Structure formats: structure tokens, C-alpha cells
Chains A and B, each alone.
Chain A
Amino acid sequence: MKDQLYEYILMLGDNAMILGHRLSELCGHGPNLETDIALTNISLDLYGQVRSYFQYAAELKGGDATEDSIAFLREEREYRNVLLVEQANTDFAYVIGRQFLFDAFHLPLLEQLCNSADTQIQAIAQKSIKEIRYHHRFSSEWVKRLGGGTAESHTRMQEALNHLYPYTKELFTETEIEAAMRDNGKGADLALVKAAFDASVESVCNAVGLTLPEQMRNYDKGKYGIHSEHMGFMLSQLQYMQRAYPNMQW
């Protein structure tokens, strides 16, 4: 029971951490100063949430686990994030598309977790929800701008959605852990999250004539620790310092 809660917290934290890392790669490389700061702000928001999740996870795990050991000293198969958040910063449309699809999922998820039966999850969700509401607003606005902008920006936004949208099936494919957390009232009901996700994604896309591909990916198992080829590269960068200089601090 306690193990399931621990794993559930990892799912929440790992999604935020891997997406936060992807966004942090853009620091100093955004299309302009304003967007660069906006994206790295979002990254910092996500890392703030990750710390709360992992501090709680460390408490649940006990022993000498800390937020840092959970973040930096797990093997790839122990990370439980979905494949969507691993996808590369191919171009600005991909960055925005990935953010938009994740935010459309993240916001209704956290809205439910604000009423979680677990007081820690509830507190983290209530603290994070305002940040996520802003992320959702930011990414929705940009999808509309790119989708409704020039022929070039529309084509690129559509290409990004064609690549990224099929990954969203995994978000709503319930694992045993998520089912157990839904039943005990600590976790979210993914069917309800999906209804809100569909409504917000469709309304933004319809507004600017973007279409959603029908073919979805069926075998993604990020929540079970089976990741795409991107993951190893990201972890080697994320974990380098702790692996090369064990227990280092600064």
C-alpha cells in the first residue's frame, strides 16, 4: 500500500522533472529573450513541484533516501514518467506542442488532486495549481498563435502535433497503481482527466484549424519504466555530477 503511494508520487514527480529538464535545455537558446525567460520560468516551477514530491517520496521510503537520491540515483527503468515529456526540443512548435498537451493533462489532474485523500498530495497540488494554470494559458496562447499565424507556422505546429499527440494515449492508460490510488481517493480518476483534456485540446485546435491525428501509439510503457532512446541521454546529463562525485553538494 505504502509502496503504491510511493510509486504514484514518482509518476507525478518524474513527469515534472523530465519535462523541466527538457525546458531547462532551452535556457539561453529561446527564440527571443522574453520566451527564453518564460520557458525557463516554467522549468523552475516544475522543479519546485518535483522537490515537494520527492521530499515526500523520501519520507515514505525511509532509510537514508533524500530528495536528491530519488532524483539523481535511480536507474532508467525506475523512472516512471510518460514518453511525451521525453520528446526532444526539435523546434519551437515541438516545445510548445509538448507543453500544451502536457498542461492540458496536468491541469485537470491537479484539480482533482487538490481534493486528494492524502493530505500531502493535496497540499502540493494546491500549491502548484496556480503555476500550472499559467502554464496552460501560456502554451494554449502559443498554439493559437502558431496555428493561426503564417502558413509556415501553421504547417510546423501541425507537424509537431502529428508527432506528439499520439503519445497522449499513454497519459490516460491506467496502471494498477493509478487504479488503486483512484479507488482509495488519493489519486485522480484518469477518465475524468481525459474528458477535460479532450475538451481543452479540441477547443484550442479547432479555433485555428489544427487537426488531431487519429492513429495513436499503443505500446508506450513509460509508467512501467520502459522509455524511449532519449531517456538515457537525459539521465546521463542529469546524473553526471552525482555519479562522478558521489554525495557532492554545493
Chain B
Amino acid sequence: MKKEWPIWEIFIRSKNGLEHRHVGSLHAADAEMAMENARDVYTRRMEGVSIWVVESIHITASNPENSGELFEPAQDKVYRHPTFYTLPDEVKHI
């Protein structure tokens, strides 16, 4: 029998209209307990209005060893950033 409860990743939406963001992880025996634990551990100071829980084993993560081929080719492709447009002064928040 496994002694330790599995790990769950917790995502919280801080207010309606914003996306859920990863806030941390915790131990729980199942999804329902993960939800209650997330409520107690991560929303004590009114951090959220909605919680998602995902068991960590269901997340497929990129391997740090592959960082070279995955991410470095983007480094010298500045033309992918829309930085060559001149923005009118009236447009803010970009």
C-alpha cells in the first residue's frame, strides 16, 4: 500500500474574467479532498473565486534536456515580435 497521498497541482482564478493560474501543489487522496485542501491552503486570504485541481501525474512536462531544440531557435527571430509597427499615442496597455 502506498503511504503517501498523490500530489495535485492547484490552479486558482483570482477573479471572474481572468484565467486560472498555477499557485502550487499539495497532497490529497482524491480529487474531492484535493479541492477541500486547496480551499484551505490557497484561498484563506480571498485569493480566488474558482479552483481547478489536476493530479500531477496527468501533466506531461517538457524535459529540461531538450531546452536547446525547443526554445533556443526562437531567440534570433525578432521578426516574430510585432515590434516594427509604430503605435499611435492613444493606444495604451500594449
Q: Please tell me the size bucket of the interface on A.
A: 10 to 19
CB distance from B70 to the nearest CB of A (A): 34
Q: Quick one: CB contact mask for A209-223 with B, threshold 8 Å, 1 for yes?
A: 000000000000000
Residues of B14-57 at the interface with A, using a CB-CB cut-off of 8 Å, are 26-29, 32-33, 36-37, 39-41, 44
**Shortest Cβ distance from B39 into A: residue:** A134
A141 on the B face (CB < 8 A): yes
- Given A138-B36, A141-B36, check contact A34 B26 (CB 8 Å): yes
Across the interface, do A32 and B27 meet the contact criterion of CB distance under 8 Å?
Answer: yes
Cβ-based interface call for A177 (8 A): no
Q: Which of B26, B36, B44 contacts A33 (CB 8 A)?
A: B26
Query: How many Cβ-Cβ contacts under 8 Å join chain A to chain B?
Result: 28
Contact A34–B29 (Cβ < 8 Å): no
Count of B interface residues, CB-CB < 8 Å: 13
Q: Does the CB pair A33–B33 fall under 8 Å?
A: no
Q: Which B residues, 37 to 88, have Cβ-Cβ distances below 8 Å to chain A?
A: 37, 39-41, 44
**CB-CB nearest in chain A for B5:** A32
Q: What residues of chain B have their CB less than 8 Å away from a CB belonging to chain A?
A: 5, 26-29, 32-33, 36-37, 39-41, 44
Q: Are B27 and A38 in touch, CB under 8 angstroms?
A: no
Cβ of A37 and Cβ of B32 under 8 Å apart?
Answer: no
| A145 contacts partner chain B, Cβ-Cβ < 8 Å | yes
Q: Could you pull out 19 A-B pairs where Cβ atoms are within 8 angstroms?
A: A32-B27, A33-B26, A33-B41, A34-B26, A34-B27, A34-B40, A37-B40, A37-B41, A37-B44, A38-B36, A38-B37, A38-B40, A41-B44, A137-B36, A138-B36, A141-B33, A141-B36, A145-B29, A145-B33
Of the candidates A34, A134, A145, which one forms a contact with B41 in the assembled complex, judged by CB atoms under 8 Å apart?
A34
Query: 1/0 per position for A95-123, CB-CB distance to B under 8 A?
Result: 00000000000000000000000000000
Residues of A within 8 A of B36 (CB): 38, 137-138, 141
Closest chain B CB from A147 CB (angstroms): 14
Q: How far is the CA of A37 from the CA of B32 in the complex (A)?
A: 17
CB nearest neighbor in B for A32: B27
